[in-house]
Structure 1
Amino acid sequence: MSNRYQVDPDHVIGDEAQLRALFEPTHALALRKCQSQLGVHAQAFIRRAPFLCIGTQNPEGKADVSPRGDPAGFVQILDPQTIAIPDRPGNNRLDTLSNIIANPAVGLLFIIPGFDDTLRLNGRAQLSTDPALLQRMAVDGKVPKLAIVVVVDEVFLHCAKAFRRSHLWDPDYLQDRREMPSLMKFILDETSGAPNDADEMRKLDDDLEQAYQRTMY
């Protein structure tokens, strides 16, 4: 018998009418704030943001979300309705990029350290290898292989409640990374098994850190 949690069908929300009956009507300001292009403040927010998450889906509807980060200003604003995101070296799973080819709908969340507000952007993406565009995104002379070009469908500022509830930027709530295993040990423990020898494990961690330094751009 499976120990997996099963949702009680008597308590499943099955349609939008049931869902909306649980909540107050949408606030008028929440409706008005949604725009179809990047205004002056949205553009300023994007230029300040060193980090974003991009959500995509494959043709079967399987969802994925991926982080993207660089120095502030790394996202290029091409016009009030178009942005471009450089694709830096990663693990070459290519989940986001493959999904975009199959389904261009994307959702972006821009985050600025110290800001409790976030900027949400939904749109349609394409992958571009335009040399002139990629050259604008070069770091230390290294040009990305491609850029994710997104046409804006809607953009709006998201309220601060989630970040305030989580105390994300509050130094008193910072957690000690050493309380959980390293990335290498995490992966090995869940797959082939991590080595028991501490020196061997430390070497694997050091090798990963050196790989980060070599392949950042």
Structure 2
Amino acid sequence: MSDYTPKPEHRITDEASLRQLFGATHDLAMRKSLDRLSGHAQDFIRRSPFLCIGTQSADGRADVSPRGDPAGFVTILDDRTLAIPDRPGNNRLDTLVNIVANPSVGLLFIIPGFDDTLRVNGRASVVTDPDLLAGMAIQNKPPKVAIVVTVTEVFMHCAKAFRRSHLWDPQHFQDRSEMPSLIKIILDETSGAPADDKDMRALDEALEQDYQKTMY
């Protein structure tokens, strides 16, 4: 286990020192930031089946959580307001608890096959409006709550990260079987996974069945 600690002279502790290492920001990169959802941003959100939401607890502990549903699952209430359904999960409620304590959020919208992404920053609240939730129902099951975001900043993010990672290139896809299953990883790191392969397969199958029953 590494005990690496950077020397004080190698740590950057102020913005001025940081910016000295980089070139000037392109004017267009500054001007692209908007305070509302343009028509293009709204079109992007309607196409997106997946986003990541970043939150922070009251004491500054950061968290990022994925959210996914059929494309267009995020409701655009107006050009400054979004609503994200909260589907069944493991009930840790990390994102929701953080929002209650600290409403600042960051969203990253992703569309499969698109290398560029959409970033949205704003302030969120957890709401139980039955009319709003009813419109988010899937298989006649509305979410218990929705995350309503008041938008403060919107801009498109360039394609470099996705192109560097070859995220959508099938030639770079990795074989999932080269790592243990999710349930085995969790058991290895907690109570211990069964040594018997048959028992492990039964646990993996049970998890898949649970996915099917509790997706919505």
CA distance in 2, matches of 1:69, 1:8: 41
Question: What SS does structure 2 have at the residue aligned with 1:148?
Answer: strand
Give the root-mean-square deviation of aligned CA atoms: 0.8
Question: What SS does structure 1 have at the residue aligned with 2:185?
Answer: helix
Question: What SS does structure 2 have at the residue aligned with 1:154?
Answer: strand
CA distance in 2, matches of 1:7, 1:71: 44
Aligned to 1:118: 117
Write the deviation string for residues 167-209 of structure 1: whole angstroms up to 9, x where unpaired.
0000100000000010011011111111110000000100000
Aligned to 1:192: 191
Q: CA deviation at 1:8?
A: 2.0
Asked whether 1:178 is paired with 2:177, we answer: yes
CA distance in 2, matches of 1:59, 1:159: 31
CA distance in 1, matches of 2:192, 2:86: 32
- Counting matched residue pairs gives 216
Q: CA deviation at 1:97?
A: 0.1
Aligned to 1:37: 36
Aligned to 1:27: 26
Query: How do 1:72-111 and structure 2 match up within 5 A?
Result: 72-111=71-110
TM-score (norm 1): 0.98
CA distance in 2, matches of 1:199, 1:96: 36
Stretches of structure 1 that go unaligned for 5 or more consecutive residues are: none
Stretches of structure 2 that go unaligned for 5 or more consecutive residues are: none
CA distance in 1, matches of 2:167, 2:41: 22
CA distance in 1, matches of 2:98, 2:105: 9
Percent identical: 70
CA distance in 2, matches of 1:10, 1:197: 52
Q: Which amino acid aligns with 1:51?
A: F
Aligned to 1:53: 52
Q: CA deviation at 1:64?
A: 0.3
Q: Where has structure 1 moved over 3 Å in runs of 4 or more? A: none
CA distance in 2, matches of 1:28, 1:3: 41
CA distance in 2, matches of 1:39, 1:108: 16
Change (3 A) 1:212 1:15: same
CA distance in 2, matches of 1:154, 1:122: 5
Asked whether 1:162 is paired with 2:151, we answer: no
Write the deviation string for residues 126-149 of structure 1: whole angstroms up to 9, x where unpaired.
111101100110001001001000
CA distance in 2, matches of 1:186, 1:215: 21
Write the deviation string for residues 5-25 of structure 1: whole angstroms up to 9, x where unpaired.
212222111110110000001
Q: CA deviation at 1:3?
A: 4.1
